Amino acid sequence: MYPAFRFPRPRRRRTSAGLLAAALLLTGCAAGTDGPVPARAPSRPSGSVQLWHHYSGREAAVIQSVVDDFEKRHPEIHVTVHSAQQDTKITQVVSSGGDVDAMITNVNTTLGTACKTMEDLAPWMRRDGISTHDFQGIFAEATAFGGRRCSLPTTSDVYGLYYNKTLLSRAGYRTPPRTLRQLEKMALKLTTYHADGSLKTLGFNPLVGFQQNTAGTLGHAAGVRWMRDGEASVGSTPQWRALMSWQQRFVKKIGYDKLKTFTAGLGDEWSADNAFQRGRIAMTLDGEWRVAFIEEQAKELRYGTAPFPVLQGSGQRYGGGFVSAADIGVNKRSSHKEAAWTLVKYLTTNTAAAVRLANGIKNIPTLKSAAASPALDAPAPYRTFIDASAHPASDTSPVTEIGSTLTATVDDFWTAYQQSSGAGLAPGLRKVDKDIDNALGLRRAK
């Protein structure tokens, strides 16, 4: 059953202090050294590899099945899999010199803090003819940091709009919105009320903090800029102000208290009582994994998927989406780098392996050949997210040395701002920049 597991998306409500502490832990360790890279790959690579990852339950079984295939192909390499390990635990084990050879983590939360402990894969890729052009969209770019090829992308998440065809049709709509202005207009028309004025159904829930509504996922709609020349630029970016002003006014039109009460009464996001699946919300922002949940839990639901609408006048192109990449790399301290690289190369560049991972975990393949493979289980609603992943407008929050502290700082401010009168936006965002820069300065000073 799908509700028994979770997908590798960023966690929204981690505290900045906790994330920064985890980041600082890495600065106190000997990071190891890159290479040396043998001139030729061995014909029969051998060794033992300790693979750590964050997947659990059914997803972990998928990872294990692909590792089993790898071991059949490379019988002289033995892989021990450590599943259900959170990124913070993995980085702590690496920093303390623990037995980690290869690791799967989340780019947005972890790569910036862990990159210095990871092997530079560029020489290995050159030796074995692996190109960053083998991967879709921005994924190859997103899995490097600070001039180092720390990792390669594996299956990842892409976000878009889900819409209830039945509810939209009843309201006279035949197509989903393409701009946030259209989204708001349609959502207000689709919203219904009880006799006492409380909400009965919502066209769209605009609250930041509701399910997948975050600064990262919503920020994509306006093509926001997070950093400039190594410093935070949230306060100096007009798109941030325009986006937050639009969202705050949208919340005010419905009523913050009404939205909070309605949201509190909704079913669990990961259960069959999911508000979109039950028809209580007509449109929602979600990731590609929701297709699998609907197939399992709401087979009769008439729905469609589309790229998430964009903020008019922001310069953002319609058709892309926010992406959250999972990546895999090699520990610089590993004494089995050739065997670990062989595993990493298989999991990221072998088409059959990438397809099996995508079909099993229900995430988007980042390898171009896997995305185009006829073996990929890609119904029409899922195909929307594959197309978005390759769209030039797709983006992600930048990798930094402070991990999710970057996005959490914006989330914290926005969560408070959306219930305000709308005043104080500009100085509030300048404070956000200051807080981010302070955290970056502390991290870089170590």
Residue 5: pLDDT above 80? no
Question: Any idea what the Cα angle at residue 390 is, between residues 8 and 343, rounded to 5°?
Answer: 50
Q: What phi and psi, each to the nearest 5 degrees, are found at residue 426?
A: -60, -50
Of 241, 254, 42, give the one whose Cα is nearest residue 128: 42
Question: Any idea what the Cα angle at residue 366 is, between residues 225 and 303, rounded to 5°?
Answer: 80
Cα 133 to chain centroid, rounded: 21
Listed in order, strand segments (DSSP E) in 93-183 are: 102-106, 152-153, 157-164
Taking only the tens place, the pLDDT of each residue in 118-173 is: 999 999 999 999 999 999 888 999 999 989 999 999 999 999 999 999 999 999 99
Cα 356 to chain centroid, rounded: 20
Query: What mean pLDDT is predicted for residues 403-411?
Result: 94
Tokens of 77: 């390499």
Cα 159 to chain centroid, rounded: 8
Residue-level pLDDT at 409: 97
Listed in order, strand segments (DSSP E) in 251-314 are: 281-287, 303-306
End-to-end Cα separation, the chain, in angstroms: 45
User: Do the beta carbons of residue 100 and residue 358 sit within 8 Å?
Assistant: no
Residue 137's region, left for phi above 0, alpha for psi from -120 to 50, else beta, is left
Helix axes of 16-27 and 405-417: crossing angle, nearest 10 degrees? 170
* Cβ partners under 8 Å of residue 396, min gap 6: 107, 108, 138, 142, 216, 322, 323, 324, 325
Collapsing DSSP states into helix, strand and coil, what is residue 196? Answer: coil
Query: What mean pLDDT is predicted for residues 418-422?
Result: 94
Q: What phi and psi, each to the nearest 5 degrees, are found at residue 327?
A: -135, 165
Taking only the tens place, the pLDDT of each residue in 273-314 is: 999 999 999 999 999 999 999 999 999 999 999 999 999 999
Mean pLDDT of the residues in the chain: 91
Residue-level pLDDT at 262: 98
| β-bridge pairing 303-306 and 152-153 | unpaired
Place of tokens 């964009």: 310
Taking only the tens place, the pLDDT of each residue in 79-102 is: 999 999 999 999 999 988 999 999
